[in-house]
Amino acid sequence: MADNNSKNENDGSKRSLIFSYGTLKRGLQNNYLLQELIDRNDAVYLGSCLTHIPYPLVIGPYGLAYIVNFPGNGHRVKGELYSVSARGLARLDELEATSRGHYERLPIRVVRCPEETTEPDPTVNDDDVVEADAYYAHRSFGEALWDKNHRQGLREYSEKEARLYVRPEDRPNASRTIVDDIWLFISSSETHQ
C-alpha cells in the first residue's frame, strides 16, 4: 500500500492517506465531499480498515464522531482509508475546522480489513500496518469529551449513530462556534452513548 508521501502518477501532486471514521464514511452525511473529491481525481477510496491499536471513539454534540487521542483506550475503530491530494486535504481540513480548533489532523496507524470485519485479525503483522492521518477531537476538549462519555467508546460510527447527526444549517444558535457547543455539551447532563 502507498505511504503518506506517494505521488499521483497522473498529476505529480503529493497524496496523503486519510482514515475516515465518522460522517465522511460512505453512505453517511458528509461523504458527499469525498465523492466530489473522487470525481475530480483528488481522492481515491482504498478500502475498509481498523486502527492498529484501540482509541476512544465517542459521540459529541449534533451526533458528531470524535476519536480522542488516548491510544490504548477504547476499541480498535473501524473506518475507511482514502488517498487524498493536497487540494483535497485542504477541503477536508476546512470541513473539519482544523484552523478553528474543532478537529486536529494527526498521525494514526491502521490495518486494512474486509468490509464486514469489526474485530481485529489476529494474523496481522507489522508489515500490514499503514501510516495515515485522522481527524481527532482537538486536544483542548478531547479528554473532557472522553470523560463526558464515561470513558466508554464505540467500535464504529454506523448508520445508527449517524441518525443523531444535525447539519450545520439546522443547529441552533448559529452565532456560537462548534467548540462553544462542545463545551456546552460537555457541561450538560446529555450523553449519546
Q: Which residues are catalytic?
A: 96
Show the cell assigned to 182: 462542545
Burial 46-81 (b: 16+ CB within 10 A, else e): bebbbbbbbbbbbbbbbbbbbbbbbeeebbbbbbbb
Show the cell assigned to 176: 456560537
Q: What is the DSSP letter of 8?
A: P
Mind spelling out the 3-state secondary structure of 74-110?
A: CECCEEEEEEEEHHHHHHHHHHCCHHHCCEEEEEEEE
Instruction: Name residues whose C-beta falls within 8 Å of residue 71's C-beta, 6 or more positions apart in sequence.
Output: 53, 54, 55
